[in-house]
Amino acid sequence: MSLVGKKAPVFSAPAVINGEEIVADYSLEQFIGKKEVIFFFYPKDFTFVCPTEILAFQEKLAEFEKRNVQVVACSTDTQESHLAWLLTEKNQGGIMGVTYPVVADMAKTISHNFGVLAGDWDYTEEGDLTFTGAPIAYRGSFFIDKEGVVRHETINDLPLGRNIDEMLRIIDAWHHVKEHGEVCPANWEEGADAMKPTREGVANYLSSH
């Protein structure tokens, strides 16, 4: 079930911040009323597609910060695994240099509550609890506004890396909507025409394009 239009699930979990410090109780609630958040999940530390995404977010971090958006990552690995990966050089498969927070969802409850866990729990006929699927997160991305409401989400299967520029486009579109009261048509980008959410506004936009 989609979380769009709903409050983002609340959590408190260990995380690595600033690429070097473990904190015990990290939460997105600290940003309520202050910042929007891009909260993204990735499958596992020390893998192949994941570091390309994590480093790509870091490369664009100034663009997110310019828009007053906090980037936060999460996987089902431990905080110790996160820290080890963050302290490993890029040429050795690490993600050294990443400064935004990386949350440790060891209990898999955050992934489950956001709907990105690549499996689920079930019971056998004998009543034993089992897990079916992969106990890791899909590549989920969530744009959360200052009120803690999810405004956009995408979920990619495990082998499909995401487009970081699309995250920025979504943020720009949301800011345009909030500032101008216009809606953003297909393939809208910053600086392009939007349209008034009326029949006349739509007709005028379509006739001029």
Active site residue 50: yes
Within its chain, how far is the Cα of 94 from the centroid? 20
- Three-class SS of residue 18? coil
- Three-class SS of residue 151? strand
Six-digit token pair at 28? 């997105």
Residue type, 151: R
Radius of gyration, alpha carbons of the chain: 19
Distance between CA atoms of residues 135 and 76, nearest Å: 8
Q: Catalytic one among 37, 50, 103, 155? A: 50
Give catalytic residue positions.
50
